[in-house]
Each structure stands twice: as C-alpha cells, then as structure tokens.
Structure 1
Amino acid sequence: MPVTQSDIALAHHLADAAGAVIRGYFRQPAGLEIKEDRSPVTLADREAEAAMRRLIEAERSGDGIVGEEYGTKDGVTNRRWVLDPIDGTHSFTAGRAIFGTLIALVEDGWPVLGVIDQPVQRERWIGVAGRPTTFNGTPVRTRACPQLEGAVMATTSPHYFGEDAALRYLALTAATSGGHNRMTPIYGGDCYNYGLLASGQIDLVCESGLKLHDFAALVPVAEGAGGRMCDWNGDPLTTDSDGHVLAIGDPARVDDVLEALHRVHD
C-alpha cells in the first residue's frame, strides 16, 4: 500500500505532539533514570511516546506500534509505526539540541516513511519512499563525495562498538582520514547526523548496535535525498537487520566504504 498524504499528515502530527512535550522539559529537571540495559530515559521520553501512541491508536487502530519506551503493540495490518521519542537522550539531558524524535512507518518489514524532528530548533526532515526528502518543507539532496579520503564521517560514539566492530570502524576512519590524525570523525549527534547527511553537510555515518527504533526512520530520509543506507555487508536495512548501519551520502562511495570496513580481516 503506497504512503498516502494522510500517512504523512499523521507523521507530522506525531512529531508535533512529541515536540510539545519535549520542549517543556528541555534544560529542565526531566526525571532521569537508567534502564536495565544501562541506557538513560526521562519523563520526556515516556510522555512524548505516550502522546504519539494515543494519536496512532485513535487514527490507525489497526496498525502495529513499536516504541522504545512502551514496547510492541500488535496490529492487524502489515504496517507498524516505529517510535523513538528522544534519540540522543544523553544530549537531551546535557542541554544539547542535537537529539531528535524518530518516527517511521514500516510496511512488510521495509521502512517507507521516516521523520527526523529536532523539536527545540524546529528542524524536520521527512522522507517517503519514491519521493524527495524535505527539510522544513524544502527538498534537500546529499552531496557528491569524489573519494573516500577526506570524506566527513560521523558516529555517535566509538564506545558503542564491540571489539570486532571497533577494528572495522578504525579501518574506515583511517581510509577517510588518509592517515592524518587531524581528520577525525564528528562525535555525538545520534539521528541528527543523518539529517545533516541528507542536507549535504556530511558524507558518511557509521554506527553499530542500533535497534529498529534507532534506524527505521533514517532510511527514507537518507535515501530520498539521494543517499544510500545499508548494513556493513551492503544489504538494505529492514526489520531483520542486525544494527550495523551505514549512511552514505554519495552512492558512488558504497564499495569504497565496504572495502575499508572489511580490509581489517584481509
């Protein structure tokens, strides 16, 4: 079933509802807790997701919901709304406006609609399969990257990589830097990095250990802007993906990125 204007309108309403909650807590006491998986959560996370779930249940009662804070609600359709109310809770609690709300519509396991919303700066990227990505309503494009050396790469934190993934990541870092220590990746940013990639500000994002709610919304945004998203083997991202994620602004660099990642075991 193609994404409809009604679906897009609902995605905007979800982002508006989450943003209204989040802005009220930004740089205010937000009831920080640490979950069993050692990740942080705040009242803003929980209340923003609850607000979005209420809207979905009112307007799309047959669709499933997957949320970071309140889990999975099964539906009767082949569609699921995937929600991450605050992607980048560390940044949110530190008062840094580089977190975002992620909203995705997944159909038969494939992300077909995605929203990256930065509610404090009121910046919103929306991607829909088969349509150009927009930033605050204006179409955006990724930029050309003539070679991997010198590419601007971002990742949330190298501490999120396991031992093998870290070796691969360092090999990719070496390829982008050309061996020059001054060419270091951009750290921090979570989902915000993918919006910047869609807008042509950076060239590459490399991450490991992401869950569906972390990456589903990113796929339509990056790809609708002309980029490519895949796992570390070059395969498309679906609900079955393992969380090793690449976003590459210029698809001409995909083979170079994959070669660099796997060079460590050659």
Structure 2
Amino acid sequence: MTFSPDLDLALAIADLADSIALERFRALDLKVETKPDRSPVTDADQAVERAIKALLAEKAPSDALIGEEYGSAAGTTNRTWIIDPIDGTANYLRGVPVWASLIALAIDGKPTVSVVSAPAMGRRWWAAPEIGAWTRDIDGSTRKLAVSGISDFENASISYNNLQLWDQSGRLPQLLELSRKLWRTRAYGDFWSYMLLAEGALEIVAEHDLKIYDIAALVPIVELAGGQFSDLDGSLNAASSSVLATNGKLHSATTEALRA
C-alpha cells in the first residue's frame, strides 16, 4: 500500500486551511463564541472546517469524518479523517501565532497519515508510513524528524498543559515531583509541544483534557520520528483524554512517575 495519495490530499487540505485561517488571523471583526464545554470557537474555526468537509466530500466521499466543530459523518470504508480546524483557538483569538490545523487519516481506527500546519509560524509537519516524519522550516527547507536520544531525567525536558488541569486530575503532586528530577520544565502548549518532541528538542509531553481531534494528527508524526505515544494509564484509544508522548527511551519511567 502506498500512502502518498493520502498524504497529498492531507497537504492540500492543510493549504486550504492555511489560506482561510490566515486571512482571519488578527481580524478586528473576528467573531468569538463560547461552546457548551466553555471552550472558545471563532468564525475562522467554523469556516476552515466547512471548507475541509466540502473538499473531502469531493475527493474522498466514502471516507468518514470526525471534526471538532460539526461532529461526525459516517463513511463506507475503514478510513476516517479527523480534523481540528484550529488547534490553539485561545492563542488564535488573542493574536498569538502558536496555532495550527490538525489533519489526520485513521485507518482501521489507527492514526496513520497526518499533517500539522502552523502558517502564522511559517511551519508545517507531516508523516506517513514508508515516508517518515518531516518538517518544513520557516526558510522553506525540509528535513526528516527524529526524537532525541536522551535516556535520563537529569538531561530531559518536559512540556505540559496548564497546572489547573493537573490539579483537577489529582496528578499535580506527581508532576511536581517529576519536575524536580528534570533538567527543564516548560508549557509550550497545544500541538507545538509534540512537534518539538518529534524534532528532538524535548523528551516528554503530558497533557489532560484532550479529545480525539486534539490527538490524532500528532500521533503519526511523533511515532514515525521514533517516539512513543500512549494514554497516561495505558494504551492510546479513541476515548483517551490524558496522554503521554516521549522519545521512547523515557516512556516507562515517565509513566511510572506520573501514575495516579
């Protein structure tokens, strides 16, 4: 099986998403609403997802779709596109350039092909089997991704999401205890943490309160760069909300350190 056509379609989706989201970024008339889960949504999120749905209806009409803003659409194949039109909406609406469109194709339930595109940062990442994990830098050059080889906590760096969620999960003491053993702790946030992991710039990412569309596009890039992805309490699945990604060498030790 070749995944090049699927990756080409995912990259075309990313181009479309970039064009719409960039046009509305920092717009003075940006419309912002609050969803039932109290998270923000902008007219840009909605416009991007509508455009992606229309493109997939044309190019892959038999495939299923899971989107953040408009829910799911059934398909007739073993293939599901999983879309987060703008990951980092809170950044987007405040004018912070750290946001991205997340595009993933799951086959038989496993995220297999993906693109993460952050146009305001001038960056893009993508991955597919037999192709590997790659990034395009701000100067337009491309390079293959590989996680770091660090295998001890004292030289490792972690990125996590906000401390309130760690407190609510009951694992804030474990995070603080782990932080005392690490070289560096940061909260880069959203997709950016996982892309830095895939690039070898840090070793551990752990987060809570995620949905499938927050996670799916990150998995192929991290795994095909040599890293490991799991639920904090076991195997990653469609219902996972608390996740751990590492360079692989520190996965078992970090799982144990963060165990509830």
Per-residue CA shift, 1:202-231, capped at 9, x if unaligned? Answer: 111101121110001110010111110011
Instruction: For 2:148, give the aligned amino acid.
Output: R
Q: State the shift of 1:41 in Å.
A: 0.3
CA distance in 1, matches of 2:89, 2:230: 24
CA contact under 8 A between 1:171 and 1:260: conserved in structure 2?
Answer: yes
Instruction: For 1:39, give the aligned amino acid.
Output: S
CA distance in 1, matches of 2:174, 2:3: 42
1:174 corresponds to: 177
Structural RMSD (CA): 1.7
CA distance in 1, matches of 2:73, 2:89: 23
Distance 1:90 1:3, change over 3 A: farther
The question of 1:222 aligning with 2:219 is answered: no
Per-residue CA shift, 1:169-192, capped at 9, x if unaligned? Answer: 44134224328xxx6632242011
CA contact under 8 A between 1:150 and 1:176: conserved in structure 2?
Answer: no
The question of 1:247 aligning with 2:252 is answered: no
Instruction: For 1:261, give the aligned amino acid.
Output: L
Instruction: For 1:217, give the aligned amino acid.
Output: A
Per-residue CA shift, 1:152-181, capped at 9, x if unaligned? Answer: 111231223363x342x44134224328xx
CA distance in 2, matches of 1:78, 1:170: 41
**Can you give the 5+ residue segments of structure 1 that lack an aligned partner in the other structure?**
none
SS in 2 for 1:66: strand
Number of matched pairs: 254
TM-score when normalising by structure 2: 0.92
Per-residue CA shift, 1:21-40, capped at 9, x if unaligned? Answer: 11111112320111111000
**Can you give the 5+ residue segments of structure 2 that lack an aligned partner in the other structure?**
137-141
The question of 1:16 aligning with 2:15 is answered: yes
CA contact under 8 A between 1:3 and 1:128: conserved in structure 2?
Answer: no
SS in 1 for 2:80: strand
CA distance in 2, matches of 1:157, 1:130: 36
1:125 corresponds to: 125
TM-score when normalising by structure 1: 0.90
Q: Where in structure 1 do 4 or more consecutive aligned residues deviate above 3 Å?
A: none
SS in 2 for 1:135: strand
CA contact under 8 A between 1:151 and 1:176: conserved in structure 2?
Answer: no
Per-residue CA shift, 1:223-266, capped at 9, x if unaligned? Answer: 1111100111342x232x421111102x121111011012xx5x
CA distance in 1, matches of 2:75, 2:53: 13
Instruction: For 1:56, give the aligned amino acid.
Output: L
Instruction: State which drifts further: 170-179 or 201-210.
Output: 170-179
Per-residue CA shift, 1:135-156, capped at 9, x if unaligned? Answer: 0142111112231234211123
Instruction: For 2:204, give the aligned amino acid.
Output: L
Per-residue CA shift, 1:11-67, capped at 9, x if unaligned? Answer: 001000000011111112320111111000001100111111111110000001100
CA distance in 2, matches of 1:115, 1:142: 18
SS in 2 for 1:133: strand
1:139 corresponds to: 144
Instruction: For 1:40, give the aligned amino acid.
Output: P
